A = this chain, B = another copy of it.
């Protein structure tokens, strides 16, 4: 059995997992990212955690170490100015890990890593052309073309969450307007709900979450059902736009809002086909990720090791 290490770096926690070639996370360790002041100490502890994971599980040899990180750049192996990490500026994480453990290390951003996970272990195994969209705090994406990840000229390709969906639309956290992220992230979906309630003179559920909106839709709440429908219509346009670019075999969705299930997916598939250019109609599947939600970040990171 072949093994790889996957590291998922988040602002609060760093998850480190030992993953076998079937895509099963067989053991894991956790570090509290936010509590580190010194990056050297942080990387030392990551290296120690990996050594322990290997010895505790009698694994002598690994295919490599994959790292998914916010603002991670594949080409440079660096994390560049990530606003939610305690370490400032540019961190040469790939080199720092490699110096300590002397094995193949691959670093990428978290959405790209998730797409690798789908390619290596999940529903995209047999696909050369697909797009993965992560819906959550933001909207991320990882894109495969001709069997390879699209990194682009600078390593930052695949930012579909910040393609302009509505010219002059909602102000985005990125400083621009009308980005897909402002309509299809958890934050954007809640805003749509609050707007819909205001338009219809209804009192919104206070501090509502996407989970609440799914429960409310299950209970027949028209504002919640309408929110999922409106979200689906806009996301459908954004995804059919992405099809004109790379004509993928499928678009995979993952993340919290996807748990709304058919409240989101049914109107999404309708809007997607309705806005599709004729030559692409009926050809592109909308699928949900086949990876277990709790392990997806570690699995994706470990999959980076098997890049072509």
Contact = CB atoms under 8 A, between A and B. Distances in A.
Interface in A155-173: 155-160, 162-167
Given A158-B245, A174-B278, A153 B167 contact: no
A143 B245 contact: yes
Contacts of A159: 244, 247, 277, 279-280
Contacts of A166: 167
B146 A146 contact: yes
A164 B237 contact: yes
Given A146-B145, A245-B143, A283 B154 contact: yes
Interface residues of A, number: 45
27 contacts: A127-B153, A129-B157, A143-B246, A145-B145, A146-B148, A146-B150, A151-B247, A152-B247, A153-B247, A153-B248, A153-B284, A154-B247, A154-B279, A154-B283, A155-B247, A156-B280, A157-B245, A158-B245, A159-B277, A162-B244, A162-B277, A164-B240, A166-B167, A174-B277, A175-B278, A176-B277, A245-B246
A283 B164 contact: no
Looking at chain A's contact residues, the main secondary structure is loop
Nearest to A159: B244
A128 interface: yes
A246 B145 CA distance: 10
Given A159-B279, A165-B167, A241-B164, A249 B148 contact: no
A245 B128 CA distance: 17
Given A128-B153, A150-B145, A280-B156, A163 B245 contact: yes
